[in-house]
């Protein structure tokens, strides 16, 4: 695989991308190239590897001259790895891209164009989900998140696809780092915290590709069923600080689903 030649964008805000990685060597090169092939002139790319024992380090070293910072050492899981990267970022626009996902071409230019019109917005676009076991793909168009909508974990597409979200560093500074006690819902928790002070806006473009395979959290065993207990816990935690109006609408919807659509609330 070779890095392609694309005309870069000039005089642009810095974009910081963090990739957490652990034993995903068979997918990692595609991930890295999807970042580098944007040929964005003001890129900060950070890879935090958890001490992989496969060919991941060979892949990283192949491109290390174009990577701003990388490390391979034992960590305490995905959230810890991402936070290590977040502590190093200096960019204006921030995102993380897991080591088995990849960006669509031209994504950074699109995000920067939107950023210039509203630098304090959180931008969310479409995502293509790839199901390896079923040999299927599905385009996901997000429900534009708000604090209220993010709490309704039983609703379809309540939480947008993480790799298709870009946010200003100010939003991360305000929300704080990921909760490292969370294994599945750390992104949801972060979006809820950000939604208190920042608005999400839609980018009408497929921004990323999300791979679901047997070694991924969403593809092993029961898939997203494993996410539900943490989703519920995170949503009820943030509900405590919601307004009386938000709580009333939440519980009205929640008990309606408990009575008429209980399968959507099933956690096991």
Mean pLDDT across the stretch 168-180?
98
* Dist CA 66 CA 233 (whole Å): 40
**59 exposed, middle or buried (CB, 10 Å; 0-12, 13-18, 19+)?**
buried
Domains of the chain: 15-265 (3.90.550.10)
pLDDT tens for each residue of 180-231: 999 999 999 999 999 999 999 999 999 999 999 777 666 555 567 788 999 9
Lowest mean pLDDT among 5-9, 25-29, 176-180, 213-217: 5-9
Residue of higher predicted confidence among 166 and 5: 166
Contact 149, 229 (CB under 8 A): no
Tokens (6 digits) for 207: 């921004």
- Residue 6 pLDDT > 60: no
Contact 16, 169 (CB under 8 A): yes
- Residue 38 pLDDT > 90: yes
pLDDT of residue 115: 97
- Residue 178 pLDDT > 90: yes
pLDDT of residue 224: 72
Q: What is the pTM of this model?
A: 0.92
- Residue 167 pLDDT > 80: yes
Mean pLDDT across the stretch 25-42?
97
Tokens (6 digits) for 94: 């921030």
Over the chain, what is the mean pLDDT? 92
pLDDT of residue 26: 95
pLDDT of residue 12: 86
Residue 109 CB-half CA count within 13 A? 13
* Dist CA 56 CA 266 (whole Å): 37
Mean pLDDT across the stretch 151-160?
93
pLDDT tens for each residue of 114-126: 999 999 999 999 9
* Dist CA 21 CA 19 (whole Å): 6
Where residue 84 falls among pLDDT bands split at 50, 70, 90? very high
- Residue 27 pLDDT > 50: yes
- Residue 11 pLDDT > 70: no
Tokens (6 digits) for 121: 């917005």
Residue of higher predicted confidence among 45 and 133: 45
- What percent of the chain has pLDDT above 90? 84
């Amino acid at each position: 695989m070779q890095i392609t030649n694309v005309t870069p964008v000039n005089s642009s805000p810095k974009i910081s991308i963090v990739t957490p990685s652990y034993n995903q060597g068979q997918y990692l090169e595609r991930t890295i190239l999807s970042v580098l092939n944007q040929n964005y002139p003001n890129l900060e790319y950070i890879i935090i590897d958890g001490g992989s024992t496969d060919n991941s380090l060979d892949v990283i070293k192949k491109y290390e001259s174009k990577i701003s910072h990388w490390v391979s050492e034992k960590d305490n899981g995905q959230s810890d790895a991402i936070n290590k990267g977040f502590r190093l970022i200096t960019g204006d626009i921030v995102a993380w891209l897991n080591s088995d996902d990849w960006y669509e071409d031209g994504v950074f230019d699109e995000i920067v164009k939107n950023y210039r019109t509203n630098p304090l917005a959180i931008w969310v676009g479409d995502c293509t989900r790839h199901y390896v076991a079923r040999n299927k793909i599905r385009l996901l168009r997000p429900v534009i998140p708000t604090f209220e909508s993010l709490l309704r974990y039983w609703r379809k597409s309540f939480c947008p696809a993480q790799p298709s979200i870009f946010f200003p560093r100010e939003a991360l500074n305000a929300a704080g780092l990921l909760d490292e006690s969370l294994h599945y819902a750390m992104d949801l928790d972060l979006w809820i915290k950000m939604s208190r002070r920042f608005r999400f806006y839609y980018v009408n473009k497929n921004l990323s590709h999300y791979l679901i395979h047997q070694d991924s959290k969403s593809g092993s065993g029961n898939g997203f069923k494993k996410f539900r207990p943490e989703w519920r816990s995170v949503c009820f935690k943030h509900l405590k600080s919601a307004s009386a109006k938000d709580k009333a609408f939440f519980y009205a919807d929640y008990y309606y689903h408990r009575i008429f659509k209980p399968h959507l609330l099933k956690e096991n």
